[in-house]
């Protein structure tokens, strides 16, 4: 601990916060002589008033003992801010993908139903074209649903209702799972319990 550096730092923070040695001393219930001793590095503030002093100087105990503003604290704040922003962006992007997936599913069902129904109607007069239309319709259903399931698997995470673990399941688990909407009955990789796992957009 560099007492001189700490002393200079105390003086600097005191001035920044608009205190004189006397007014700071009064706030702390000590003599201005004591404040002067800290600032010249002759003594250190007692542990008993350190927290109060830090509060008045708007610094933390760590900074007081280091004798400088610690930028690492900002780093942490900024890092947290960035994390929140990243999550929001991921959530937005994932929500868009989920919407696209739902749209695709509906479009697939409508298009293939149209093909199958018209195929069935035409089959009476022209069996070959009827069969082709019906097969095409079935193929589109199959491909569309496979693609939608893959998209659902790739976007976001599933959350276990028991232990709240958020995870990406295997493609096989997603395909085989009973589901309603995007909630699927699966086994949790963390607590190993089976349950209905909800789709969530962020980890």
Does residue number 200 form part of the binding site for Zn ion (CB under 5 A)?
Answer: no
**Residues near 175 by beta carbon (within 8 Å), at least 6 away in sequence:** 149
Kindly tell me which residue out of 191, 194, 202, 203 binds Zn ion, with binding defined by CB under 5 A.
191
Cα four-point dihedral sign 25, 26, 29, 32: positive
Does residue number 161 form part of the binding site for Zn ion (CB under 5 A)?
Answer: no
- Percent helix, percent strand, percent coil in the chain, to nearest 5: 65, 10, 25
Q: Which is nearer to Zn ion, 59 or 160 (CB)?
A: 160
- Nearest approach in angstroms of CB 62 to Zn ion is 38
CA angle 78, 80, 84 (to 5 degrees): 115
Q: Which is nearer to Zn ion, 96 or 203 (CB)?
A: 203
Candidates 33-41, 49-57, 149-157, 185-193: pick the segment binding Zn ion (CB under 5 A).
185-193
Candidates 4-12, 107-115, 155-163, 177-185: pick the segment binding Zn ion (CB under 5 A).
155-163
- Nearest approach in angstroms of CB 193 to Zn ion is 6
Which parts of the chain are beta strand (E)? 157-159, 166-167, 179-180, 183-187, 194-200
Candidates 28-36, 48-56, 102-110, 162-170: pick the segment binding Zn ion (CB under 5 A).
162-170
Count, residues in the chain: 203
What is the distance between the alpha carbons of residues 26 and 32, in angstroms, rounded to a whole number? 8
- Nearest approach in angstroms of CB 203 to Zn ion is 15
Kindly tell me which residue out of 160, 174, 177, 186 binds Zn ion, with binding defined by CB under 5 A.
160
Q: Which two tokens stand for residue 115?
A: 């093909």
Q: Binding residues for Zn ion, per CB under 5 A?
A: 160, 162-163, 165, 188, 190-191
């Amino acid at each position: 601990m560099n007492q001189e550096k700490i002393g200079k730092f105390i003086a600097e923070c005191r001035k920044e916060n608009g205190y004189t040695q006397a007014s700071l001393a009064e706030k702390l219930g000590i003599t201005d002589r004591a404040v002067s001793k800290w600032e010249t590095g002759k003594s250190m503030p007692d542990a008993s008033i350190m927290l109060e002093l830090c509060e008045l100087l708007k610094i933390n105990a760590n900074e007081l003992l280091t004798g400088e503003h610690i930028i690492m604290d900002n780093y942490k704040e900024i890092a947290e801010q960035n994390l929140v922003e990243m999550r929001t962006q991921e959530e937005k992007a994932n929500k868009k993908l989920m919407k696209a997936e739902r749209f695709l599913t509906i479009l697939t069902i409508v298009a293939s139903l149209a093909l199958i129904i018209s195929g069935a109607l035409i089959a009476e007069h022209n069996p070959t074209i009827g069969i082709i239309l019906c097969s095409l319709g079935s193929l589109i259903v199959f491909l569309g649903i496979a693609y939608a399931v893959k998209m659902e698997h790739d976007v976001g995470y599933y959350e276990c209702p028991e232990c709240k673990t958020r995870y990406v399941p295997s493609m096989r688990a997603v395909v085989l799972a009973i589901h309603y909407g995007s909630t699927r009955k699966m086994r949790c990789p963390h607590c190993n319990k089976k349950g209905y796992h909800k789709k969530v957009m962020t980890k």
